[in-house]
């Protein structure tokens, strides 16, 4: 490292300038590593949220319930019709499965 005119005017020799530059580099390295650590932790948290299936199911179920409640508040007649339709589909499906099981014997 070379001694600048400012360093020479202050009486700083080349060794002090090198030490100062090395310390600055260490501080930069520490700041970079802390930044990288924080970024890595953020990435791990995002992956955990994404790959945690039970948590995703809870989140999506809560959103669906909220959407259905809002729909039921805005259009109660349509909500009843949807509920009856879903019940009918489930009932027919169960009936078909039971019938296939009984006929299969």
> For residues 80 and 74, what is the distance between their CA atoms, to the nearest angstrom?
12
> For residues 85 and 83, what is the distance between their CA atoms, to the nearest angstrom?
5
Q: What is the pLDDT of residues 8-29, one digit of tens each?
A: 555 556 678 777 777 778 888 8
> Does residue 67 have a pLDDT over 90?
yes
State mean pLDDT over 77-94: 95
> For residues 41 and 47, what is the distance between their CA atoms, to the nearest angstrom?
10
- pLDDT band at residue 43 under the 50/70/90 scheme: very high
pTM: 0.45
> For residues 3 and 11, what is the distance between their CA atoms, to the nearest angstrom?
10
């Amino acid at each position: 490292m070379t001694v600048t005119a400012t360093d020479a005017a202050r009486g700083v020799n080349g060794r002090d300038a090198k030490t100062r530059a090395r310390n600055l580099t260490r501080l930069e390295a520490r700041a970079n590593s802390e930044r990288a650590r924080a970024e890595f932790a953020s990435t791990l948290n995002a992956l955990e949220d994404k790959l945690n299936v039970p948590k995703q199911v809870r989140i999506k179920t809560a959103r669906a319930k909220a959407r259905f409640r809002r729909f039921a508040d805005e259009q109660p007649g349509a909500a009843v019709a949807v509920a009856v339709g879903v019940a009918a589909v489930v009932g027919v499906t169960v009936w078909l499965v039971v019938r296939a099981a009984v006929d299969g014997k």
